[in-house]
Amino acid sequence: MLLAISCVFNYGTYAQLEKVEPPFWWAGMEKSEIQVMFYGTNIADFSVSVQEEILVTGVVKTENPNYIFVSIETQNVAAGTIHFQFKKKGKLQFTREYELKERAENSADRKGYTSSDVIYLLMPDRFANGDPNNDSVKGLEDKLDRSKSGGRHGGDITGIIDHLDYLEELGVTAIWSTPLLEDNDPAYSYHTYAQSDVYKIDPRYGSNVDYKNLASELHKRDMKLIMDYVTNHWGAQHWMIKDLPSYNWINQFPGYEQSNYRMETQFDPHKSDSDFKYCVDGWFVKTMPDLNQKNPLVLNYLIQNAIWWIEYADLDGLRVDTYSYNDKEGIATWTKAIMDEYSDFNIVGEVWLHNQAQIAYWQKDSKIGAIQNYNTYLPSVMDFTLHNAVEHMFAEGGGWGSGIMKAYDNFVNDFLYPNPDNLLVFLENHDTRRFNDIYDKNLSAYKLGLTLIATTRGIPQLYYGSEIGMRGDKSKGDGAIRQEFPGGWEADAQNAFSASGRTVQQKAFFDFTKKVLNWRKSSKAVHTGELTQYIPENNVYVYFRSLGADKVMVVLNNNEADQTLDLARFAADLKTTNGTDIITSQNITLNKTLTVAAKTPLIIQLN
C-alpha cells in the first residue's frame, strides 16, 4: 500500500506527457486490441510496458520523437485500471494509469437509424443559443460575431436540448447535427468541419458531457442521435497537424494542393494517375489537410476515435463527411471495423455524385463495386440524384422526361442499389440551395416535395427551418442557407419554436410537416413496404407502399390543373373503394375515379 502511494506521489503526474488517446477504453469490445497514443516532448526516448499481465502487441515510434503508439490486447481483461510504465535504461521513470471501463448494458446491440426514422439535420451554431456564456471562449480564436454570415452566432448543445420538445412535436425521430468537435480555425469555424481536437466537443457548443446528455435526452423521447464524422481531413489548427507524427500522416505534394473534386476517378477505368491522386490526396481546401488513411497509424486512430464516440456518447449512427474522397481501401476498413463492433448500427456516407451507378458503387455489397472487387461495408448512401430532380421537377410541366417523371425515373434505377431502403432522401441540406428558395416559398411545392420524401423508400432527411418555410440562396454564400432559426436567440423579434409565435405562413408549413411526419411514425408500409410505381400521366404520379394488408396510396398531382384519375389503371394495387386522407382524416371513396386538386399531394391509407 505504502509503495503504491509512493508510486502515485512520484510518478502519478509527468509534465512531459501532454496527451493520451483514446483517453480510455472499455472491456469486452470487439476491437480489443487498442493502440494507445502517448504524446509529449521526446516521449519516444522511453520504453513503455504494462505493469499488469496484459499483452503488449506492438510499440511504434515515428520520426517525431514526441509520439509513441503502444498496442495492447484487452481481450478477456476485466474492467479496471491498467498501468503503463515508462522506463529509461530499465529504470522506471513514471507510470500512467489507463482506464478500461465497464461497457453499458447492450452497448454492442445498439440499433442504428432506419427507414422508420425521419432525420432532422441542423447546424448547431445556427439553431439555438441556449447558453450565451459560451459564445466566445478563451483560447479559441473565432469569437461571437452575429453580424457576419460566416461568423459564430452562438448556438450550442443546450440550445438543441432546449428545443427537443419542438422537434418531437414536429415528428422527426433523429437528429443529425453538423460536427460539434473542436474547430479552432480563426474564421468560418462555425461549420466545424476543420477540427482541431477530435476527442473534445468544442467548448462553444458545450462539453463532452453535454453531448452525452443530448443523446440521453433524445433517447428519453425515443429519438436518436447521429454524429457527423470527418475521416477525410482535419483542420490546419489540429494539434497533431501542428506537430505531425510523421510526414505521411497527411497527404503532401509536398504540402497543400487542392483536390480536383473529381470523384469519378475512384472508379474510372481510364483515369490518369495524376487525376486520381489529385482527387483523393488533394486537400478539400487549404485549411483542411488531407488525412492519409493508407498510413495504418492514421487509420487506426480514426477507427478508435469513431468507436470511442459511439460508445462514450451512446450514439445511434454516423454520417460521414466527404466519404468518397477518402482512400478507398482505408475507408472500407474504417467502416467495416465500426460495423463489426455494432452490427445493427447505421452509417450514411456523403457520396455527392450525379448518377445512380456511381452512388450505388459506395453502398455495402454493391454489385457495381464488386465489378472492381470493392466493398465499402457502408450501409447507407445519399440519394443525390433524387435531390437533383426535386430542384427542378415541381416547376416543370409533364413532358416525356420532365416534371414528376423525374421522380419515377429516379426510382427505376433502384435496381442498382443493394438496399434502396437505406438511402437518405432529402430536398436539401446544409450545402445546397434551400428548397423553399428554389420554389419561392411556395407551399404547394413544399407539400409535394415533403410528401415525396416522406412516403417513398428510404430515410427522409429534413433540413432545419424548412418546416417553417425558411429560404436561402447558396449563390449568395453559405451563410444564406445557414441562417439562424427565428426564436433561437434571446432577443429575437419572433419565435417560430412556439405555435403562438409562428406567422400564418410558417404555421401552414409547420402544420403540414407535423401531420405527415407524425402519421409516418406508425406507417410500417411506408417504412419497409414494397414500392410500386405507375408511369406518370399528365404530370401526376401515383405509387403504392404495401406491407401485407397495410397499403398506402400516394398521388402527387404536379399539374397546374385539377386532375381526375381513372382508377381502373391501378386495380392491381387498389382492391378497396375506401381510404382515409391522412392530412384531413376524411374518408375518401375510391370508386372508378379520383379527382386531385392542382399542385396537391394526397396520402391515402387504404382501408
Q: How far is the CB of 12 from Ca ion (least distance, A)?
A: 36
Which of 350, 383, 437, 467 is catalytic? The answer is 350
Stretch touching Ca ion by CB under 5 A, among 115-123, 149-157, 317-325, 423-431: 149-157
131 versus 316: smaller Cβ distance to Ca ion: 131
129 versus 513: smaller Cβ distance to Ca ion: 129
Cα 149 to Cα 189, 483, 493, distances in angstroms = 12, 8, 19
Q: How far is the CB of 130 from Ca ion (least distance, A)?
A: 7
Site string for Ca ion, 93-132 (x = CB under 5 A): ------------------------------------x-x-
Computed over its alpha carbons, how large is the radius of gyration of the chain?
26
Residues 6+ apart with CB under 8 A from 491: none
131 versus 185: smaller Cβ distance to Ca ion: 131
Q: How far is the CB of 541 from Ca ion (least distance, A)?
A: 44
| All three cell numbers of 597 | 386538386
Q: How far is the CB of 190 from Ca ion (least distance, A)?
A: 11
Residue positions counted in the chain:
607
191 versus 520: smaller Cβ distance to Ca ion: 191
The Cβ-side half-sphere exposure at 516, using a 13 Å CA radius, reads: 25
Stretch touching Ca ion by CB under 5 A, among 147-155, 230-238, 519-527, 575-583: 147-155
According to DSSP, residue 61 is labeled -
Q: How far is the CB of 154 from Ca ion (least distance, A)?
A: 4
134 versus 287: smaller Cβ distance to Ca ion: 134
According to DSSP, residue 233 is labeled B
Total residues at interface with Ca ion (CB under 5 A): 6
321 annotated active-site: yes
156 versus 391: smaller Cβ distance to Ca ion: 156
Q: Does 189 bind Ca ion (CB under 5 A)?
A: no
Q: Report the alpha-carbon distance of residue 28 to residue 100 in Å, rounded.
A: 9
Q: Does 154 bind Ca ion (CB under 5 A)?
A: yes
33 annotated active-site: no
Look at residues 455, 484, 536 and name the one whose alpha carbon lies nearest to residue 123. 484
Stretch touching Ca ion by CB under 5 A, among 13-21, 146-154, 188-196, 284-292: 146-154
Residue with cell 496527451: 19
Q: Does 192 bind Ca ion (CB under 5 A)?
A: no
Q: Does 210 bind Ca ion (CB under 5 A)?
A: no
Measured distance between the N- and C-terminal CA atoms of the chain, rounded to whole angstroms: 75
- What are φ and ψ of residue 547, in 5° steps? -135, 95
469 versus 486: smaller Cβ distance to Ca ion: 486
Q: Report the alpha-carbon distance of residue 337 to residue 350 in Å, rounded.
A: 19
Q: Report the alpha-carbon distance of residue 516 to residue 451 in Å, rounded.
A: 7
Residues 6+ apart with CB under 8 A from 370: none
Q: Does 156 bind Ca ion (CB under 5 A)?
A: yes
Q: How far is the CB of 131 from Ca ion (least distance, A)?
A: 5
Q: Does 151 bind Ca ion (CB under 5 A)?
A: no
Look at residues 349, 449, 351 and name the one whose alpha carbon lies nearest to residue 391. 449
| All three cell numbers of 200 | 473534445
Q: How far is the CB of 144 from Ca ion (least distance, A)?
A: 8
Look at residues 88, 96, 109, 131 and name the one whose alpha carbon lies nearest to residue 24. 96
Residues in touch with Ca ion (CB under 5 A):
129, 131, 134-135, 154, 156
User: Catalytic residues, which ones?
Assistant: 321, 350
